[in-house]
Structure 1
Amino acid sequence: MLATIDRITGFILRAIPVCCLAALFLLLLTNVIARTFQLAGFSWFDEIVQGLFAWMVFIGAAALWRERDHFQVDWLERSLPAIPARILRLVTTLLAICFLVVMTAYGADLTRSAKALTPILGLPTALFYITIPLSGAVMLIYSSAELLRLLTGFNSSRETQQ
């Protein structure tokens, strides 16, 4: 059951940034063509680009975090013997959890306090900010699972493959 939920979550976390990138590409292409041939100006363009970019970056970061595909400097962990490497991994996971708790809490506070509307389309700016606590919560869940694996000694399939 958890594997199915994880697989669906992974699909959604990859699909959202891909859709945002495709939409950004189409919007930019349309805007360039419209401006080149002086067909039209899109005053709402910047608002949509900002929102799509925010969703693409934060949800994309959560997708990378889930799969541990984000940039990591792991030469020290790889060069240490097993027990010190595990302790280092535990410390870095705890630090990541602390950061993610703060990011998620402040992101939720920012989203809650955002009362402004975008100037042209009148969209709530909270729609742009909500991606911060959402992605933070996803990353926090996966970091907590990693912490549990480290504490119980259970090796993930990814670790055993390396």
Structure 2
Amino acid sequence: MKQTVIDSLTKIDKMLVKAMRWFCILLLGAMTVILTLSMVVRFYPFMSMHWFDEVLELMFAALVFYGAAVVWMEHQHFSVGDWISKYIASVRLRFFYRLLVELISLIFIAIFFKYSLDLTLSTEEQTTAFAMSKKWLYMCMPICGAIMLVYTIKNMYIELALILNPDLQVEERVKEDLSAW
């Protein structure tokens, strides 16, 4: 039963990552098309493009935040590297250090989530061209913050399991070199 749940969660995880990656690719493609169209319309004015800046703002915000969530989920985000772990002799202490880094990340992401949710729920602004609520523009922030919170908690759970049992074979740690974080 336990393995079935873990397998199901792994499948959901992979599907979510793949869907979010494709969403980012589609957003980038759509932004490219709209920007190209706006340049063409500037030289050959066959239609009005008064709306394109609002659409690009929405797409760019979504691309940035969903892209950040994807790289967070896959541990592909930019970092200065884990140069401290190699100096920690104890395996358990090394995993505790990583748990501490995840806890600091959790605090930062929780603050980001709270304030982005407050902003999204409290805004009453409307866009000028479409007169749609700016909540649609801001919605990507709390959604991605929530996703990043869930994955940070998952990472903390893995690190805690490794502290309690350093010999435990956790799927993500088997794939990943422990010296490179």
Report if TM-score (shorter chain) is over 0.5: yes
Using the alignment, how far apart are the partners of 2:10 and 2:28 within structure 1? 27
Using the alignment, how far apart are the partners of 2:123 and 2:36 within structure 1? 31
**Residues 3-48 of structure 1: CA deviation (Å, up to 9, x unaligned):** 1211121122212211110110000011111112233341111100
- Indicate conservation of the 8 Å contact 1:44/1:121, yes or no: yes
Q: Identity of paired residues, percent?
A: 26
**Residues 101-139 of structure 1: CA deviation (Å, up to 9, x unaligned):** 111111111110111110111121000101111000001
User: Alignment partner for residue 57 of structure 2, among 37, 50, 57?
Assistant: 50
- Larger-gyration structure (1/2): 2
Using the alignment, how far apart are the partners of 1:97 and 1:75 within structure 2? 18
- Indicate conservation of the 8 Å contact 2:21/2:70, yes or no: yes
Q: Unpaired segments of 5 or more residues in structure 2?
A: 1-7, 163-167
Using the alignment, how far apart are the partners of 1:157 and 1:50 within structure 2? 38
- Indicate conservation of the 8 Å contact 2:85/2:97, yes or no: no
- Indicate conservation of the 8 Å contact 1:114/1:125, yes or no: yes
Using the alignment, how far apart are the partners of 2:174 and 2:84 within structure 1? 15
Using the alignment, how far apart are the partners of 2:47 and 2:57 within structure 1? 20
Using the alignment, how far apart are the partners of 1:156 and 1:114 within structure 2? 43
Give the alignment's Cα RMSD to 1 decimal.
1.5
Give TM-score, length-normalised by structure 1. Answer: 0.93
User: Alignment partner for residue 77 of structure 2, among 64, 70, 73?
Assistant: 70
Establish whether residue 98 from structure 1 lines up as the match of residue 107 from structure 2: yes
Question: 1:155: Cα distance to partner?
Answer: 5.1
Using the alignment, how far apart are the partners of 2:169 and 2:53 within structure 1? 45
Using the alignment, how far apart are the partners of 1:149 and 1:62 within structure 2? 19
Using the alignment, how far apart are the partners of 1:102 and 1:140 within structure 2? 10
Q: 1:95 to 1:115 in 2, by over 3 A?
A: same
Counterpart amino acid of 1:157? E
User: Alignment partner for residue 126 of structure 2, among 114, 117, 135?
Assistant: 117
Give TM-score, length-normalised by structure 2. Answer: 0.83
Residue 19 of structure 1: aligned partner: 26
After superposing on structure 2, the runs of 4+ consecutive aligned residues of structure 1 that deviate more than 4 Å are none
Task: Between 67-76 and 119-128, report the one with greater CA deviation.
Answer: 67-76
- Indicate conservation of the 8 Å contact 2:113/2:141, yes or no: yes
